[in-house]
Amino acid sequence: MSARAWLEMGLLGCIWGASFLSNRVALHEVGVATTVAVRVVGACAVLWIVVWRQGLPVPRQPWLWAAFLLMGLLGNAVPFSLITWGQLTIPSGLAAILNASTALMGVIVAALAFRDERLTPRKMLGVAAGFAGVVTVIGPASLANFDPTSLAQIAILGAALSYALSGAFARFAARGLAPEVAAAGMLTGASVIMGPAALILDGLPRMMWSPEVWGALGYLAVVSTAFAYLIFYRLLRMAGAGNTSLVTLLVAPIAILLGAVVLSEALPLRAFGGFGLLALGLLILDGRLARGRRADSMGKPAE
């Protein structure tokens, strides 16, 4: 991947890492379905304003709007709902570990779907090293709490699979579309699903929320969804579906770091070793280490 792709992946990891904290704050006063509905509807409105201000053409093909509905289901409605619901009972550390499995699933799904993203030993080694880094940051002891019978934990794994499928499908369906249009279309599909779902499951929102909850919902809608998906679709075109899914490896350690800064949580020493493993995994996936070794063996610097 290019340096710009790595930079945007890091920014996206920071944005989505903070969404775990925002979900926690919102769930103190807002139901799961309403939290997700406010997030997708608010982001949808922001992105259509962006599309209008930039004068981008609005798609008119019926098949494309059907694709947007499926993209919204797989990329927003299902994973947002499962993760938010899971955070009601799952510790943040364990939830982040399970969510990081999106990287593993994304590489495998992309390899099955696209010829140019075949599953190589180097790619699998990089994902394994990065995932080991996430586990080390959070602490292997958290994995001991994994209970296959827990619906909440299975829900997080279901969200990871949904993200992986969404990334692969979006690469095909959003081909040729401006990132702003693709993101707005996807969130329109999610809004069509989550708006009625929130009314059915949570009833009419009372809207008498605290400033902290309003801030968390605003962050989820404007920053963690609208702005983040503009970056996501651009990154998807630059790096491919498999590589883009690897951003989830950055989300967990960033969420832990934010917890230490914002909530004064102690960051254990093992976190630094985890960050090192994570960095190694990303370098292996990028191929820089392999190119460096080949260049050294040939007696010339890597390009």
pLDDT in tens, the chain (303 residues): 788 888 988 999 999 999 988 998 999 999 999 999 999 999 999 999 999 999 999 988 999 999 999 999 999 999 999 999 988 887 776 777 778 777 777 777 877 877 767 777 888 888 888 888 888 877 777 667 666 656 787 888 899 899 888 888 877 777 778 888 989 999 999 999 999 999 999 999 888 999 999 999 999 999 999 999 888 878 877 877 667 767 877 888 888 777 777 767 666 777 778 778 877 877 787 665 555 555 554 454 443
Dist CA 252 CA 97 (whole Å)? 7
Domain map of the chain by residue range? 3-298
The predicted model scores a pTM of 0.81
